[in-house]
């Protein structure tokens, strides 16, 4: 991959990101998580499909492929999106919205994995980052629902949202076709008990094959 060309492509795709609400009724949502196995040689994408607003697990898919490019800071979406797109196509139904484990426009070139995936799949997406990639913010009050704007060069690129009192906040940003205000509200609604929104929490739990998740899957959905 020509990394300079990839960065240029990011800047061009970022111009296509729709930062306002552009979606209909939400009935099914997804959580997208990507990890790497075999010392990084295998890319593993997991997507959970859940009802909305009940947040009941409907189905999930796991997709693995050889890792296409090495880790390059700022170009993570080129590493993760191909596997996510393949995984999406295996779902029995396409979600109305995707919560992505990663950044949306809260990215140096305003194109994190959530924005990149949203454009390629033409599906509304929300970036849910566990840590800050770029930008600055004030301290977030220690209570559920507290918010501090994330800014970069005087531009608001996200919200730092505390989903649980006494727990580290999340970095929420528009992915594609979802406004920042709506994205923040939806993340809070999707995280009634835990730090992470349920769709992402389930995708991560399935990917890690955590015992508590796998036991519940035996009674709710098929095992891969």
User: Which pLDDT tens digit goes with each residue over 185-198?
Assistant: 999 999 999 999 99
Q: Among 127, 128, 135, which Cα is nearest to 154's? A: 135
The DSSP output letter for 140 is P
The number of beta carbons lying within 10 Å of the beta carbon of residue 42 is 14
Rg (CA), the chain: 16
As a whole number of angstroms, the distance between CA 121 and CA 28 comes to 16
Please give the CATH number for the structural domain made up of 26-210: 3.30.2170.10
pLDDT band at 224 (very low <50, low <70, confident <90, very high): very low
Percent of all residues in the chain with a pLDDT value above 70, rounded to a whole number: 93
More confident residue, 220 or 38: 38
Q: For residue 55, what are the CA distances in angstroms to 28, 30, 104, 192, 205?
A: 9, 10, 22, 10, 15
Question: Is 55's pLDDT higher than 50?
Answer: yes
Beta bridge partners of 152: 155
Question: Is 79's pLDDT higher than 90?
Answer: yes
Helix 76-89 and helix 113-121, axial crossing angle in degrees, nearest 10: 40
| Mean pLDDT within 120-139 | 98
User: Which pLDDT tens digit goes with each residue over 101-121?
Assistant: 999 999 999 999 999 999 999
pLDDT band at 2 (very low <50, low <70, confident <90, very high): confident
Q: Output the pTM of the full model.
A: 0.93
As a whole number of angstroms, the distance between CA 182 and CA 90 comes to 28
139, 125 contact by CB (below 8 A): no
The residue ranges of every structural domain in the chain are: 26-210
- Identify the helix (H) or strand (E) that includes residue 169: none
As a whole number of angstroms, the distance between CA 100 and CA 146 comes to 21
Q: Would strands 170-176 and 125-129 be described as parallel, antiparallel, or unpaired? A: antiparallel
Q: Would strands 97-101 and 57-66 be described as parallel, antiparallel, or unpaired? A: unpaired
| Mean pLDDT within 92-106 | 97
pLDDT band at 211 (very low <50, low <70, confident <90, very high): low
């Amino acid at each position: 991959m020509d990394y300079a060309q990839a960065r240029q492509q990011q800047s061009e795709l970022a111009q296509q990101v729709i930062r306002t609400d552009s979606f209909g009724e939400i009935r099914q949502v997804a959580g997208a998580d990507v990890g790497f196995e075999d010392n990084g040689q295998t890319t593993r994408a997991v997507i959970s499909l859940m009802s909305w607003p009940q947040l009941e697990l409907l189905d999930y898919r796991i997709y693995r492929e050889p890792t296409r490019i090495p880790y390059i800071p700022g170009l993570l979406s080129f590493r993760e999106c191909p596997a996510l797109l393949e995984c999406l196509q295996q779902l029995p139904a396409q979600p109305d919205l995707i919560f992505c484990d990663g950044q949306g426009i809260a990215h140096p070139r305003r194109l994190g994995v959530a924005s990149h995936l949203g454009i390629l799949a033409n599906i509304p997406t929300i970036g849910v980052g566990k840590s800050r990639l770029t930008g600055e913010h004030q301290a977030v009050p220690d209570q559920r629902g507290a918010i501090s704007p994330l800014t970069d060069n005087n531009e608001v690129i996200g919200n730092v949202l505390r989903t649980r009192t006494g727990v580290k906040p999340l970095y929420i940003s528009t992915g594609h076709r979802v406004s920042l205000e709506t994205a923040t509200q939806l993340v809070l609604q999707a995280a009634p008990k835990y730090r992470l929104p349920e769709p992402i929490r389930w995708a991560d739990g399935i990917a890690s094959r955590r015992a508590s998740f796998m036991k519940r899957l035996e009674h709710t959905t098929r095992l891969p």
